[in-house]
Amino acid sequence: MKPQKITQDNLYLILPGKVTQIANRLIELGIAKDIDSALKIVYSSSVYKKMENESSKYWWLGLNALYEEIINSNQ
């Protein structure tokens, strides 16, 4: 099977998984108290804005890099 190329048209398929991972990390480390507040942190971040733009390639970054950037941008 040929690997699928990530484009702006299909990027939405991988973003929920990334967002869920980041939100769970925020809860685990006590940054957010529940899933609602964790999702608000993620979706309102400049990191998410970069992630939803395929050309930034932020969707490619791993959980640790994305989490660290969100935390550092909120300080």
Q: pLDDT digits over 36-70, tens only?
A: 999 999 999 999 999 999 999 999 999 999 999 99
Question: For residues 27 and 60, what is the distance between their CA atoms, to the nearest angstrom?
Answer: 22
Task: Give the residue numbers spanning the domain of 68.
Answer: 11-73
Question: For residues 16 and 47, what is the distance between their CA atoms, to the nearest angstrom?
Answer: 14
- For 17, the token pair is 């998984």
Residue 6, domain member (yes or no): no
Residue 5, domain member (yes or no): no
Of all residues in the chain, the percent with pLDDT exceeding 90 is: 91
Number of domains in the chain: 1
Residue 16, domain member (yes or no): yes
Residues listed for the chain: 75
Per-residue confidence (pLDDT) for residue 75, from 0 to 100: 62
Per-residue confidence (pLDDT) for residue 27, from 0 to 100: 98
Residue 54, domain member (yes or no): yes
